[in-house]
Amino acid sequence: MMLRASFVTGMTAWLYYRSAWAVPFLLPIWVWYYRKLAAECTESKKQEFLLQFKELIQTISSALNTGYSVENAVKESQKELMLIYSEKEPVIRELMLMVRELRMQIPVEQVIEEMAGRVELEDVESFAAVFATAKRSGGDMIAVIRNTAGQIADKIDVKREIQTVLAAKKYEFKVMSGIPYGIIAYMSLSFPEFMTCLYGNIIGTGVMTVCLIIYIAAYYLGVRLIEIEV
């Protein structure tokens, strides 16, 4: 991410100002772009864990249906999910920690609440809260887990449908975002005499700065348009 943000900042400095001295002034762009990439990476990991969490609660629900207690259902789900996921996957790491805590006689509702606190996902936190309430009040644990699994699955399906619809638009947006850089690079290499007046003088620097500001504003607006929260 740092290399990618540095590359974009360096290309911006060269194409818009043809000077390495512009890089320090473009640091806000580097910071913003790096944070954007980091946020995308974090969001991707959260969605990946949410898919794994859906598998987890469905596995626990199946174990409860066969007569396991909640504690043993969690332990059994670890065995089953380890056949699907490696130990490096987040859900397996969480399960290993949960099973270890259960062996220390920590209440299962507390174990799930602590897991929800670590992953910091709204759906997981909601499940933990409902699960703890049902466990302490003697509610129907099988129904609670089944309903939660259904709700999370529905939400994931809606997100997938939205992402499928937006996939082409996101690709078009990425291509269009690179066009201004491509045009400037093409003009600079093919017709350098026409671009000379834009570099090394106050007026040219001002024109390129205005163009860069307009581009950044358009890019930010585009990012906001293709981001849909469910």
What's the half-sphere exposure (Cβ side, CA atoms, 13 Å) at 220?
9
Q: Which of 88, 87, 4, 1 is nearest to 41 (CA)?
A: 1
Alpha helices in 89-201 (DSSP H): 90-103, 108-119, 122-137, 141-190, 192-195
Instruction: Give me 160's structure tokens.
Output: 């997938």
The CB-side HSE value for 92 (13 A sphere, CA atoms) comes to 11
Q: How many CA atoms lie within 13 A of 176 on its CB side?
A: 13
Kindly report which listed range (9-13, 32-36, 100-104, 155-159) carries the lowest average pLDDT score.
155-159
**What is the Cα–Cα distance from 31 to 218, expressed in whole angstroms?**
18
Q: What is the pLDDT of residue 230?
A: 55
Q: What's the chain's Rg over C-alpha atoms?
A: 25
pLDDT for the residue numbered 210: 92
Res 139: pLDDT: 64
Q: Which residues of 98-136 are buried (b: 16+ CB within 10 A; e: fewer)?
A: bbebbeeeeebbebbbebbeebebebbeebbeebbebbe
Query: What pLDDT was estimated at residue 229?
Result: 60
Residue type, 208: M
pTM value surpassing 0.95: no
| Average pLDDT score over residue span 159-175 | 81
Reported as a single tens digit per residue, the pLDDT across 59-99 is 888 888 888 888 888 888 888 898 888 888 888 999 999 99
**Is residue 179 pLDDT above 80, yes or no?**
yes
